[in-house]
Amino acid sequence: MNTTRTRRVVAGAVAALAAVTLAACSGGSSGSDDTKGGGGGAGGTVKVGFSQLGAESGWRTANTDSVKAAFTKDKGFDLTFVDAQQKQENQIKAIRDFIDQGVDAIAFSPVVETGWDEVLQEAKDAEIPVVLVDRTVKTSVSDPYATYIGNDFTKEGETAVAWIKKNAADAKIFELQGTLGSSAQVDREKPVDAELGSQIIGKASGNFTRAEGKAATEAALQAYPDMTMIVSHNDDMALGAIEAIQAAGKKPGTDIKIVSFDGVHDGLQALHDKKFNYVVECNPVYGDQIADLVKKVVSGDDVPKRTIVPDEAFDQTITQETIDARKY
Ligand code: AHR
């Protein structure tokens, strides 16, 4: 066990002992909120700062709901949650505030991959463990975070490519990219470019939002009148694309096929309604797993460096029952 871990475990044990002593003196029960969780903070409660990158998509809303449901007082957490509105500078400020507040752990979903060196070094110097969520970072800081949890975006891209090769091998593709420089965009795009590069007739970013997906598609319909497929890096942009395609007098799913990522309720409904052709899931509901990792990291327990949330994929045979039964 390293020095930092030892410090945190000792601090946690002292705090837990103090809480039990206090409960005994006041005749209280040792099962109170204060003694649950076994964390590193005062009274056994784990103080966590979570910097969410934004609220740009249905996926993000589901992820945020899952995080908030997992990091409750009842479960032993004192959560400070900050929405960065898709701005890296807001995330860096939030992380610095968490460091100043002396939280037990920082969790964050980085909006883009690069530009985190300084703030990650600051968290490291303050001996505050970082749990990286959803997207990954590229940094020169050594051992910059305790653990990462999220989906395998490269594998998601490969799954989309396999379906396209089998079902629409001669498609002329317009690629609707997510936020440029985010690992979700970079990693999904890699296999698409590598395997289908010669079929890609154009690309533009819709920043993972429905409005920007619609605007980018409107422009693409003008610029690339021969397109027969849109590969959209998320459902929200693809839902915006549907509106643009219909406004142009074309039929989404038929005149222009749509392959998308996420599997949010509205996206899967569009698939069932034959407006989308294929959806690769990106499951956002893993707040409990993040919370579990945070507790382990704060307690000094060993954790895997990388935890991958499993994803499925759906075609137009999806049933209404499957859609209705989904959590997001
Ligand atoms: O990082 C995950 C991606 O971010 C999701 O695919 C997208 O909907 C979200 O905005």
**CA 262 to ligand 1 centroid distance, Å:** 7
Cα–Cα distance, 216 to 81 (Å, whole number): 32
Q: What is the pLDDT of residue 40?
A: 56
| H or E segment to which residue 132 belongs | strand 130-133
Q: What is the pLDDT of residue 31?
A: 27
Q: What is the pLDDT of residue 218?
A: 98
Cβ-proximal residues to 101 (8 Å cutoff; 6+ apart), any chain: 47, 49, 80
Q: What is the pLDDT of residue 44?
A: 87
Q: What is the pLDDT of residue 328?
A: 94
Q: Which atom number of ligand 1 is nearest to the Cα of residue 264?
A: 8
| H or E segment to which residue 68 belongs | helix 58-70
- Hey, whose CA ends up nearest to atom 1 of ligand 1? 184
In short, whether 134's Cβ falls inside 6 Å of ligand 1 is: yes
Q: What is the pLDDT of residue 39?
A: 47
In short, whether 286's Cβ falls inside 6 Å of ligand 1 is: no
Q: Model confidence over 57-86: pLDDT tens digits?
A: 999 999 999 999 999 999 999 999 999 999
Cα–Cα distance, 234 to 245 (Å, whole number): 17
Residues of the chain with pLDDT under 50: 1-39
